[in-house]
Amino acid sequence: MQNAVQNWEVLERFVPLTPEERLGCIQTQKLFRLRLTPYVLSLVDAGHPHCPIRRQAIPLPQEVGQGEGELEDPLGEEKYRPVEALVHRYADRALLLCTDSCPMYCRHCTRRRLTRGGRPLGEGAWAQALEYIAARPGIREVILSGGEPGLLSDEVLGGLLGRLRAIAHVEVIRLGTRVPVTLPMRITRPFARLLRRHAPLFVITHFNHPKEVTPEAARACSLLVDAGVPVENQAVLLRGINSSVRILEALFVACLRMRVRPYYLHQMDLAQGTWHLRTPLRFGLEAMEALSGRVSGLAMPAFAVDLPGGGGKVRLGPEAVVSWEGGHTVLKNHEGHHYIYPEPPEADCHCPYEEI
Active site residues: 89-90, 93, 102, 106, 109, 111, 269, 306, 313
Residue 205 makes CB contacts below 8 A (sequence gap 6+) with 177, 178, 179, 180, 181, 221, 231, 232, 233, 234, 260
Cα gap 261→133, rounded to integer Å: 29
Cα gap 185→225, rounded to integer Å: 15
Cα gap 226→88, rounded to integer Å: 32
DSSP string, 13-56: HHS---HHHHHHHHHTTTTS---B-HHHHHHS-TT-TT-HHHHH
Residue 61 makes CB contacts below 8 A (sequence gap 6+) with 20, 23, 24, 27
Measured in residues, the chain has a length of 356
φ and ψ of 71, to 5 deg? -135, 150
φ and ψ of 54, to 5 deg? -60, -45
CA 87 to the chain's CA centroid: 16
Q: Is 9 helix (H, G, I), strand (E, B) or coil?
A: helix
Smallest CA-to-CA distance from 18 within 49, 41, 43, 53 is with 49
Q: Is 234 helix (H, G, I), strand (E, B) or coil?
A: strand
